[in-house]
Amino acid sequence: MSVLNNEQAASGATPHELPTLGAILVGAGRGERLGMDVPKAFVELHGRPLIEFGMSVITSLPHAGHLVVVVPEAYAAQTLEMAKRVLPEHSNWQISVQPGGRERHESVRFGLAALPEGIETVIVHDAARPFASVELCDRVIAEVQRTGVSVVPALPVVDTLKRVDSDGVVHETVDRSTLVAVQTPQGFPFETLSAAHETAQLQAADPRHATLPTDDAEVVQRNGGTVRTVPGEQRAHKLTTQADLAVLEHFLAENVHTTIVGTADEHANTAIDAGDAA
């Protein structure tokens, strides 16, 4: 595991406060459904790998934190170089790069083990959701700390749902009023998630638990934990198939437009203030 701290080379610097917030950015998946020759987290949008967007968002959070980026071992050195570009000067964040496992839940377990002592709250985020906002991350973290339980962002299901058989024949319409679509980042008390993953590791060898959990909330629930929801956001869209690339391109363009408009507004306000002063 490699660790990057933006003040590693500084001498006589005041030590940062010890982080109580941990983050795990999961980017070790192969992305077979996407059908590309690189792992999904390293698919590029306008020359930037998806995982770089996620690193930028998490290290922009106004907390002292430690981010573990979990990637295929062959991409570890590349990811560490990326972290050097991403980490803001005088950041309260540290970044570690950790090789992942064969399955997602194993990669998260490796990420948890790589976090330093003293972490109280942890968020787990998929690199395949590059445009989840700082506001969404903060909303999840705040709810974990308010309630002391696990928290996931969720969106209401708007499509009509049908239950079908293997031949595609519709058997019934499913009541969608109690259904939500769950996203990441997902937040947890550190001890809750760590204990759940240790139990999941033991269950993996038990044929009664043949199905793998699809997210960390399910890992916690299988261990008897409570999971709450907070409102999610459309821009936390996940890259799964080629069609999703167009959706992510839309959100990237929206980000660029917002940045340009915001900068122009700042310049305009500065000019107005200067005119008033004159």
Q: pLDDT value at position 204?
A: 61
The answer, yes or no, to whether residue 207 has pLDDT greater than 90, is: no
Confidence of residue 246 (pLDDT cuts 50, 70, 90): very high
Over residues 93-116, the mean pLDDT reads 95
What is the distance between the alpha carbons of residues 246 and 266, in angstroms, rounded to a whole number?
30
The answer, yes or no, to whether residue 270 has pLDDT greater than 50, is: no
The answer, yes or no, to whether residue 190 has pLDDT greater than 50, is: yes
Over residues 232-237, the mean pLDDT reads 97
- What is the tens place of the pLDDT at every residue in 40-55? 999 999 999 999 999 9
In the block, tokens 């803001």 appear at: 88
Which residues neighbour 85 within 8 Å (Cβ) at sequence distance 6 or greater? 52
Q: pLDDT value at position 276?
A: 55
- H runs (alpha helix) in the chain: 50-58, 76-86, 104-114, 134-147, 190-203, 216-222, 242-277
Q: Which residue, 148, 146, 153, is CA-closest to 126?
A: 153
Which residues neighbour 222 within 8 Å (Cβ) at sequence distance 6 or greater? 196, 199, 200, 203, 209, 213
Share of the chain above pLDDT 70, in %: 82
Which one-letter DSSP state was computed for residue 48?
E
- What is the tens place of the pLDDT at every residue in 132-186? 999 999 999 999 999 999 999 999 999 999 999 999 999 999 999 999 999 999 9
- Its pTM stands at 0.85
The answer, yes or no, to whether residue 14 has pLDDT greater than 70, is: no
The answer, yes or no, to whether residue 7 has pLDDT greater than 60, is: no
